[in-house]
């Protein structure tokens, strides 16, 4: 990848990362619940999911998913249902009641946070659509595919790490004011509702990338 192409992809990576979505909501939610360090595991999972869809799109599998209505709908429904389930679980945690100083009504283990982050990005049909649309614009014939994908992956993950940690840090800065049972209940319900809304929105994603 030449310098000018990389700079263009670098700029596109910031646009991708800064676009509001389930990853941003999850990073802020876990930043507020677990602090920046605790949210780091979730963000690592998000990056693993991001790498997965980048490789899927780059290898041409993403194009096959978009070409097959059945395959695309399966991924779409799984991703939507998973986000709605995460959101509902968090919303219910807010209703369960908490003691002041607790991180959450039902704290998630590090492994579960990693898995949640990875699956959130890996099953996001909007991510696959975007990757399939964007990656070919920066691919060059006559150069090894996996070399180009490696450069793109490193760039995209580096940028996304900065942005997701920024979201988590911004939310974590409010953490000391969110230690009461009422405040924790409110934040769980807000972020739970946002995750469910993002999940519900995925049902309206079409293979052409247009909403219903």
pLDDT at 207: 58
Query: Quick one: pLDDT band at residue 184, thresholds 50, 70, 90?
Result: low
Token readout for 190 is: 């807000």
User: What's the CA gap between 109 and 79, in Å, rounded?
Assistant: 21
- pLDDT per residue over 121-169, tens digit each? 888 777 777 777 667 667 766 777 778 888 889 999 999 999 999 999 9
Mean model confidence pLDDT for the chain:
76
User: What's the CA gap between 182 and 165, in Å, rounded?
Assistant: 26
Please report the beta strands in 37-168, taking only residues with DSSP state E, as ranges in sequence order: none
User: What's the CA gap between 71 and 34, in Å, rounded?
Assistant: 36
Q: How many CA atoms lie within 13 A of 103 on its CB side?
A: 15
Residues 154 and 12: beta-carbon distance below 8 Å: no
> How many CB atoms neighbour CB 165 within 10 A?
17
Query: Quick one: pLDDT band at residue 96, thresholds 50, 70, 90?
Result: very low
pLDDT at 19: 73
- Higher local confidence (pLDDT), 54 or 131: 54
CA nearest neighbour of 86 among 39, 25, 150: 25
pLDDT at 102: 37
pLDDT at 160: 94
SS3 173: coil
Q: Which is it for the CA torsion 175, 177, 180, 186, positive or negative?
A: negative
User: What's the CA gap between 132 and 122, in Å, rounded?
Assistant: 14
């Amino acid at each position: 990848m030449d310098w000018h192409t990389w700079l263009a992809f670098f700029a596109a990576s910031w646009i991708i990362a800064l676009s509001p979505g389930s990853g941003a909501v999850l990073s802020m939610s876990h930043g507020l619940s677990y602090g920046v360090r605790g949210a780091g595991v979730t963000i690592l999972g998000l990056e693993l999911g991001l790498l997965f869809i980048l490789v899927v799109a780059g290898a041409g599998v993403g194009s096959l998913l978009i070409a097959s209505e059945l395959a695309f709908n399966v991924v779409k429904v799984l991703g939507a249902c998973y986000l709605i389930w995460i959101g509902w679980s968090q919303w219910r945690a807010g209703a369960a009641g908490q003691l002041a100083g607790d991180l959450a009504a039902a704290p998630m283990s590090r492994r579960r946070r990693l898995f949640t982050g990875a699956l959130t990005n890996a099953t996001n049909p909007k991510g696959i659509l975007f990757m399939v649309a964007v990656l070919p614009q920066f691919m060059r014939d006559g150069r090894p595919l996996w070399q180009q994908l490696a450069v793109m992956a490193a760039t995209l993950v580096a940028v996304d790490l900065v942005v997701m940690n920024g979201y988590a840090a911004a939310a974590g800065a409010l953490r000391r004011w969110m230690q009461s049972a009422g405040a924790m209940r409110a934040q769980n319900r807000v972020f739970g509702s946002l995750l469910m809304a993002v999940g519900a929105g995925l049902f309206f994603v079409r293979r052409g990338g247009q909403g219903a």
